């Protein structure tokens, strides 16, 4: 209970009291920690009780009360912007948590590749900046040397950013196709990428379309810039075209990021979880109809049991990218065509990009170095398969292997680098061995053989429709079926031989 300036008594649980009371935020543990929380509360209390004057019913008291309410509103606004920044700056950094997060982040193979890409971009960009500003004039006194260094680093940056766009473009085109279809299962996929917390947002289709179009525009602008850098020498390149493509290539993703944060996609709204509950009930019903889930699934055969399935062996050799994408979609790791295109680009694009980048470079050693770098990066494109092997092993609880450096993740990547076809065949055989539902492997019914099909979009796979000997045995042993069998045997129990005269008559 509390008393107001005009003598009224308010309940502390009432909404008016809660609206007038500024509750300090709770202390949260993490990378930052508070030191002077109590001092801040005391200062807020002093500010709230300062300059109280006048009688309760006077105009000055009413004015003071209105000013106090305005101050509370302004202080809440300051808390969201200036106050939050000040609070973060006054906290201490928890270096232990930061180090743990950094280790977890760098152990991810995709993050490791991204980190190497950032280092290369930083080094080439720094050298290009130093050459452009004249800071390397003492080290490179001749203009021809400076032009050579400028062109080399410019082509390296062009190749790195073009590769990044090539790797990202299949996913962005796939998201554009999902937006054009806009089916319920497509909406849930898109929300995971573009909506905060993956929940419903007002006018989400239009907002997502803006973001996806900007990201695709970024890729096309980078391709145009790559064409200008490769097709023209430095002295012949159109300055307007280069400036326009660079501006669009940099501005489009920046605007897309800001739009995602500032639009309803980056805000919290109340969502209806009925669809999620229905899907969960449907999955539970499937699990009841299936056999027991495999608690400790195993890889199907060893890594060198490549020829156990002859047809699969030849498919893995001749159509590696197609088989890989098909297996990833079947296991629930995304769209088949996106995986096919991405894996193909990882294994071929670096060679072509770095070879084209070396065309306009006069130094023979640098040109050979760029070509070797492209081949080297193509070989490391096989790590894409190693990354998804790690995800498959973790999701389905498959047994790890620690033959390389004592690390399961490094061992999975080493398997793909040393024998990619053997690893792919083993993963496909393992997928054929089990039924797959909701990130779990289930034992197949007896009599099921062959490659399990992909779930078609918009349909539900009926596990009960799979024929098996036990199912036919149960159908045969039902009471109705037993009665039909006994009646049929009763009718056929008395057999009469044909009359000889009729046989002779028929033969005539």
Q: What is the DSSP string of 339-377?
A: HHHHHHHHHHHHHHHHHHHTTT---HHHHHHHHHHHHHH
Beta bridge partners of 443: 434
Chain-centre distance for alpha carbon 176: 16
Q: Which two tokens stand for residue 476?
A: 């045969």
Which residue, among 330, 287, 315, 284, has the nearest Cα to 456 in the 3D structure?
330
Give the pLDDT of residue 97.
83
Q: Which two tokens stand for residue 1?
A: 């209970």
- Residue 93 has φ and ψ, to the nearest 5°, of -85, 130
Beta bridge partners of 92: 33
Q: How far apart are CA 348 and CA 369, in angstroms?
A: 17
Strands 434-437 and 440-443: antiparallel
Give the pLDDT of residue 223.
95
Helices 383-395 and 420-433, packing angle to 10 deg: 30
Q: Which residues of the chain have pLDDT under 50?
A: 1-31, 34-38, 40-41, 45-54, 67, 70-79, 291, 448-449, 456-493, 495, 501-508
Q: In the 8-state DSSP scheme, what is residue 444? A: P
Give the pLDDT of residue 496.
53
Give the pLDDT of residue 293.
56
Torsion angle, CA of 178/181/182/186, rounded to 10 degrees?
Answer: -40
Show Cβ contacts of residue 360 under 8 Å, excluding neighbours closer than 6 positions. 151, 155, 229, 230, 232, 233, 234
Q: Which two tokens stand for residue 101?
A: 């997060």
Q: Which two tokens stand for residue 122?
A: 């930083």
Contact of 450 with 311, CB cutoff 8 Å: no
Contact of 421 with 121, CB cutoff 8 Å: no
Contact of 126 with 320, CB cutoff 8 Å: no
Which residue, among 205, 137, 198, 218, has the nearest Cα to 175 in the 3D structure?
205
Which residue, among 308, 309, 312, has the nearest Cα to 320 in the 3D structure?
312
Give the pLDDT of residue 271.
56
Q: Which two tokens stand for residue 227?
A: 């064409």
Give the pLDDT of residue 171.
92
Q: Which residue intervals of 263-319 are DSSP H helices?
A: 274-289, 310-318
């Amino acid at each position: 209970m509390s008393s107001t300036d005009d003598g009224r008594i308010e309940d502390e649980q009432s909404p008016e009291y809660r609206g007038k009371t500024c509750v300090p935020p709770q202390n949260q543990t993490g990378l930052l920690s508070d030191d002077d929380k109590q001092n801040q509360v005391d200062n807020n209390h002093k500010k709230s009780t300062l300059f109280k004057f006048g009688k309760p019913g006077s105009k000055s008291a009413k004015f003071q009360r209105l000013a106090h309410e305005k101050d509370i509103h302004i202080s809440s606004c300051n808390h969201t912007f200036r106050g939050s920044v000040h609070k973060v700056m006054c906290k201490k950094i928890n270096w232990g948590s930061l180090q743990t997060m950094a280790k977890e982040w760098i152990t991810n193979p995709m993050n490791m590749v991204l980190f190497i890409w950032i280092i290369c971009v930083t080094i080439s960009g720094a050298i290009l900046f130093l050459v452009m500003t004249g800071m390397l004039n003492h080290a490179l006194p001749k203009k021809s040397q400076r032009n050579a260094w400028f062109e080399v680093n410019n082509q390296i940056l062009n190749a790195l950013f073009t590769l990044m766009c090539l790797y990202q473009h299949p996913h962005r085109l796939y998201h554009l196709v999902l937006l054009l279809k806009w089916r319920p299962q497509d909406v849930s996929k898109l929300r995971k990428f573009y909506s905060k917390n993956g929940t419903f947002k007002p006018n989400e289709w239009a907002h997502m379309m803006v973001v996806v179009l900007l990201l695709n525009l970024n890729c096309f602008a980078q391709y145009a810039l790559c064409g200008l850098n490769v097709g023209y020498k430095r002295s012949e390149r159109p300055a307007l075209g280069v400036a326009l493509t660079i501006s669009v290539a940099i501005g489009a993703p920046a605007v897309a990021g800001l739009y995602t944060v500032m639009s309803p996609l980056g805000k919290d709204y109340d969502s209806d979880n009925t669809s999620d509950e229905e899907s969960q009930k449907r999955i539970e019903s499937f699990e009841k109809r299936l056999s027991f889930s495999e608690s400790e699934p195993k890889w199907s055969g060893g890594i060198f049991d490549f020829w156990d399935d002859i047809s699969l062996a030849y498919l893995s050799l001749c159509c590696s990218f197609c088989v890989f994408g098909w297996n990833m979609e079947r296991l629930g790791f995304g769209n088949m065509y996106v995986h096919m295109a991405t894996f193909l680009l990882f294994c071929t694009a670096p060679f072509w990009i770095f070879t084209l980048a070396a065309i306009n470079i006069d130094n023979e050693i640098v040109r050979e170095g760029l070509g070797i770098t492209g081949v080297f990066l193509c070989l490391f494109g096989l790590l894409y398969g190693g990354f998804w092997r790690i995800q498959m092993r973790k999701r389905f609880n498959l047994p790890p292997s620690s033959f390389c450096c004592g690390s399961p993740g490094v061992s999975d990547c080493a398997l793909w680098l040393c024998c990619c076809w053997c690893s792919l065949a083993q993963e496909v055989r393992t997928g054929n061995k089990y039924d797959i539902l909701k990130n779990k492997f289930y034992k197949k019914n007896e009599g099921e053989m062959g490659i399990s099909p992909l779930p078609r979009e918009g349909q539900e796979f009926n596990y009960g429709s799979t024929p098996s000997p036990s199912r036919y045995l149960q159908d045969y042993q039902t009471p109705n079926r037993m009665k039909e069998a006994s009646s049929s045997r009763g009718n056929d129990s008395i057999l009469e031989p044909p009359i000889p005269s009729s046989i002779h008559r028929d033969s005539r």
